[in-house]
Chain A
Amino acid sequence: MTVSYYPGCTLKTKAKNLDLYARKCAEALGIALEEIPEWQCCGGCYPVAKDEIATKLSSVRALAAAKEKGQTLVTVCSACHNVIKRVNHDMQTDEEIRDKVNRYRAPDEPYEGETNVLHYIEMLRDLVGFDKIKEKVVNPLAGKKIAAYYGCLLLRPGKVMAFDNPENPSILEDFIRALGAEPVLYPARNECCGGYLTLEDPEIPKKRSETVLQSAQNHGAEVVTTACPLCLYNLQKNGGSEIPVVYITELLAEALGLK
C-alpha cells in the first residue's frame, strides 16, 4: 500500500530520527511512504483566527496533493498532524473558509476535505494492525517499562482528532504492548509539556515537563516515548531528569530490528 507522507520541517532538522525510522519501519511493514513533492511548513500551530486563510493554505495544498493521487495522508509529528487534520475538518465543515480557500487556490478543482488524514500511530493500528506488528517483532522489548506520553496535541480536540479517548487513551499503550514491552499508566500522560512557551518563559515548560517525568518515574517508567518533537525537546531540556525520552518510531525500529 502507498500513502502520501507529510514529514514537516522539524523532521528535516531536529527530529531526524522520528522521520528516518518512520520511513524504515513503514517499508518493513509493507507501506510505502510517498513524500508529497514541494510540501510547505504547516505553520506549527493551528490558526484559530476565523477571518484569514493564508495560514491554512499550506495544509490545504498537502491535502489536495494527496487527494489528487487518491491516497491517504500520513503525518508523524503531533503538531503537523494536529494542524493538517483540523484544517481538513474546517474544509469539511466550515463553508466560509472552504469557499475562501478554494477561490484563492484553484476554483476549478475545489478541495472539500476529501482526504483521509491519519497519524502514523493510527496507520500502524488501522492499516497495519498491532497484531501484525507483534508478529514482525524480532527484538521484543521484553521487561521494559515504557511510559507513553501523549501530550496535548495528539488527541485533542477529541471530536476532530477522533481516534482515541483524549481523557483516558489507550492507543500508545497498545502499541507498546505489541512491541513486547510493558506500558506504564500514569496520570500526567495527557498533560501539556508547556509547548512553545519555552521561547517566552522557560519556567512554565520546566514546571510542566518536570511534573510529567516525575509522574512517569513515580509509576516505574524506565523510558518515555512520544510522537511530538516539541514534547521531546521540552522533556529532555526542561524535564530535569535523565530518563531517556525517545520517539515512537525509534522504539518500533528497535523492536523490528532496524536500528
Chain B
Amino acid sequence: MQRIGVFVCWCGSNIAATVDVKKVAETLGKEPCVVYYENYQYMCSEEGQNKIINAIHEHKLSGIVICSCSPRMHEATFRRTAQKAGLNPYMVEIANIREQCSWIHKDMATATEKAIILGRAAIAKVHLNTPLQAGESPVVKRALVIGGGIAGIQTALDIADAGFEVDIVEKKPTIGGKMSQIDKTFPTLDCSACILTPKMVDVAQNEKIHIYSYSEVAAVKGFVGNFDVTIKRKARYVKEELCTGCGACTEKCPQKKVPNDFNLGLDNKHAIYIPFAQAVPKVATIDPDYCMMLKTGKCGVCSKVCAAGAIDYKQQDELVQQQYGAIVVATGYNPIDLKNYDEFAYSQSPDVVTSLEFERLTNAAGPTGGVLLRPSDRQHPHTIVFVQCVGSRESGEGCGKTYCSKICCMYTAKHAMLTREKYPDTEVYVFYIDVRTPGKNFDEFYRRAVEEYGVHYIKGMVGKVSPENGKLMVQASDLLDNKQLKIEADLVVLAAAIEPDPSARPLATMLTTQMDTNDFFTEAHPKLRPVESATAGIFLSGCCQGPKDIPETVSQASACAAKVIGLLAKDKLLGNPCVAESNELMCNGCSSCEKVCPYGAISYVDKEFKMPNRTIAVRRVANVNPAVCQGCGACTVACPSGAMDLKGFSNSQIMAEVDAICK
C-alpha cells in the first residue's frame, strides 16, 4: 500500500483565481491511501519545497502528487525535491491544473471539478508507480563530423579546441566544400578562399583532427556516447601517406579530357588530379572512369613520374571501424539540376549558366583565370541577365521546390555589383519575385547594387530564353511597369534552388534521424534545440538542416560544437529510465515493435526458455536497448500481444488514469 501526499499549488492567482484550491486539496485528501494533503501559494518556491520534504519525512510518504503547472515546467524541480527527501524521483506525479485547467476555464465550479478529476487520475497512477533507476553508460571521447565543408570544418575545429579528438569524413578528395568554389562572399566582399583556406590548413595541422578524405560513412551502429561507425575509404589509387602533392603526375597524365567537377564541367582536368591548389589533404587522386591504366592496363605515366612512389593501381576500397561519442551531420547542399527548365534554355545554350558556374567564371583560379568570358565563344558579355528563384518558391506541382533557398538574393546582388564594378560597360539586369535581405548589413548591400552600381532590378519573371544568332533573347515581364520586355543578352545566369546533398537520405536512415519532405534533417525543436536531431548524440551543422549563408552556417557549426563538447565532457551518461521493456514470456517475435521504432532501439535475440516436461525451447524475442530508447511509446501501441510496456507509463498506469477520470 502506498502512502500518498497531495500538494495543491495556487501559482499565485494563476490557479487559485479559477480553481478552489482548498476544495481540491480536501476532496483529494479523501482518496484511498492519501494520508496527507496541503495547499500553498507557490509550491515550487523554497518554502513550498520544504513543505513537501517535511511531509515526506513526517508522514513517511511513498508517493506524491503535485497539482500545479505543466510537468514540462517543474516536473524536474519536484523530482529533485523528492530525491532530497530520500524518495525515488519517479514516485512523483504532476496533475497539470494550470495550462490544462485554470488558464482555459472561466467558471470556477467547472474548473474546480476538472482539477479534482485530474488530481484523482494522478493519484490512481501513483498507486502503480515503482521506483525507477536511470542506467549509466560510458562516453567515447571522440566525435565524428560527416562532411568537410565550412560547417564541418568549423565544428571540427571548435571540438578539437576543447581538447577532444575529431574525425572528418569527406566524400570528395579534399575538404573545403562549396565555399572553396565561391569567389567572393557577401556582404563584405572578402575573398572566399582567403578566409577558408587558412581554416583548412588549421584542420590539417590540428593534432586532434583526422581527415578521412575520399571516404564515406558505410554503417552506423550503437547509441549516444557509443556509436560504432564503419568508414569506407574509397580507393584513390595513390598512397596518401607517400604523396607529397608535387603535381608532377597531374601535369604528365596524357588523359586530359576529364570534365573538371570542381569547375562544374566548364573546363577539363587530367585523369589524375588535385582538385585545386590549396586542397587539404594535398594528395592526388585517380579518376577510375578515365584512367587508361585502370581501364586498359596501358599507360602508367603517373607511376613513372612519381618520385615518391605513391601511385598504387591495385589499391582497393578499405573499411575502417571507429568508435564515437557523438556524430555531427554536415552534408551540405547542391544547386538543383536545371535540365527540366527548358524555358531558360539551360541545356540548349552554354551561355546560360547557374550562379555557382558564374562563381567559377569570375574566380581567379577558375577556367577563365577570373576574366568574365562567356563559355560559348570566350567573349566578354556586354549584357547579363540574372534570373532569381529558379526552382525556388514554386507551387509544388512543377519540378522545383516550394521553399525559399535564402542565399540567392544576396549572392545575385553580389554578382551584379561585382560585374558592374569590374566591367562598367556591362548592362546588368536582375529579375526577381521579391528581394529578401534580412541579415546584418544585407539590405544596405543590396541597395548599393541598385543605387551606386546601377544594376537594373526588375520585379517580374523571365518567361523564356531563346538562343538566337549567338545571342540570348530574354522575354520577361516588368510587373511594376506592366510591360513586356525583350532583352538581347550575352549571358544568362540562373539562381538555381539549393537542395540537400543526395548522400543525406541514406545517411538519415543509417543514423535513424528524421528528415522533412525536402530531405533536410529535422532539428529536435525548431526554436529551442536547433542543432540537435531528435536522436540523442546526432547533431546538425549547416545546410543539411536548411538553406543557410556562410555566417549563419558558421554560427550553427559552433553551436553544434558546443553541444558536442557538452556531451563529450561527461564521463558517463545518465539515461532516461522511462524506457520500453519487453516481457519476454509474452513476446512472440513478430517484429511489429522493431518496425515502428524511430530510434532503432529494438533488436531481436534468440533466447532459451524452459518449457513443460523439462524441455527447452529457443524463441526469438524483442530486446530494447535502454540507452537508445527515447521512451516515445510507439512500440507499446504496436505490440499485438501486449508484451511491450513503457516504464513509468505502463499500460496499467494509463488505464488506471483513464478509469479514474471516467469514474
Contact = CB atoms under 8 A, between A and B. Distances in A.
Interface of A: 159, 165, 167-168, 187-188, 191, 215, 218
Contact of B467 (A159, A187, A188, A191): A187
5 closest A-B pairs by beta carbon, nearest first, are A187-B466, A167-B342, A168-B342, A167-B343, A187-B468
A187 B474 CA distance: 11
B468 to A, nearest CB: 6
B660 interface: no
A116 to B, nearest CB: 23
Contacts of B467: 187
A160 to B, nearest CB: 11
A159 B348 contact: no
A227 B397 CA distance: 28
A17 B448 CA distance: 61
Interface string B328-343: 0000000000000111
A167 B466 CA distance: 11
A236 B580 CA distance: 78
Contacts of B459: none
B510 to A, nearest CB: 35
A159 B466 CA distance: 22
Contacts of B473: 187
Contacts of A165: 342
10 contacts: A167-B342, A167-B343, A168-B342, A168-B347, A168-B348, A187-B467, A187-B468, A215-B468, A218-B468, A218-B469
Contact of B464 (A159, A187, A218): A187
A159 B468 contact: no
Interface in B41-67: none
Contact of A159 (B341, B342, B397, B469): B397
The SS class assigned to the A binding surface is helix
Interface in B340-390: 341-343, 347-348
Contacts of A191: 464
A43 B343 CA distance: 30
Given A187-B467, A188-B466, A215-B468, 12 more contacts: A159-B397, A165-B342, A167-B341, A167-B342, A167-B343, A168-B342, A168-B347, A168-B348, A187-B464, A187-B466, A187-B473, A218-B469
Contacts of B347: 168
Nearest to B467: A187
Contacts of A215: 468
A151 to B, nearest CB: 15
Interface residues of B, number: 12
Interface string B464-503: 1011110001000000000000000000000000000000
Contacts of A159: 397
B96 to A, nearest CB: 43
A184 B341 CA distance: 22
A10 B455 CA distance: 50
B140 to A, nearest CB: 52
Contacts of B469: 218
A218 B469 CA distance: 10
B351 to A, nearest CB: 14
A222 B309 CA distance: 66
Nearest to A169: B342
A168 B466 CA distance: 11
A209 B342 CA distance: 22
Contacts of A167: 341-343
For A168, A191, A215, which residue has the most chain B Cβ atoms within 10 angstroms? A168
A6 B397 CA distance: 31
A188 B468 CA distance: 11
A58 to B, nearest CB: 28
Contacts of B468: 187, 215, 218
A159 B469 CA distance: 32
A215 B464 CA distance: 14
Nearest to B463: A191
Nearest to B466: A187
For A167, A191, A215, which residue has the most chain B Cβ atoms within 10 angstroms? A167
A190 to B, nearest CB: 9
Interface in B417-471: 464, 466-469
Contacts of A187: 464, 466-468, 473
A218 B467 CA distance: 13
Nearest to B468: A187
A165 B397 CA distance: 15
Contacts of B342: 165, 167-168
A194 to B, nearest CB: 13
A167 B467 CA distance: 13
Nearest to A219: B468
A172 B160 CA distance: 63
B494 to A, nearest CB: 14
Nearest to B486: A211
Nearest to A167: B342
Nearest to B341: A167
A218 B471 CA distance: 14
Contacts of B466: 187-188
A188 B464 CA distance: 10
Nearest to A190: B464
Contacts of A188: 466
A215 B467 CA distance: 12
A79 to B, nearest CB: 22
A75 B499 CA distance: 42
A168 B465 CA distance: 11
Contacts of A168: 342, 347-348
Contacts of B348: 168
Nearest to A191: B464
Interface in B388-420: 397
B584 to A, nearest CB: 50
B484 to A, nearest CB: 10
A215 B347 CA distance: 21
Nearest to A189: B466
A188 B347 CA distance: 17
A81 to B, nearest CB: 22
A145 B473 CA distance: 23
B347 to A, nearest CB: 8
A149 to B, nearest CB: 15
Nearest to B343: A167
A159 B397 CA distance: 9
A167 B398 CA distance: 13
Contacts of B341: 167
A191 B347 CA distance: 19
Interface in B507-535: none
A188 B342 CA distance: 13
A167 B469 CA distance: 19
A165 B339 CA distance: 12
A167 B468 CA distance: 16
A177 B39 CA distance: 92
B126 to A, nearest CB: 52
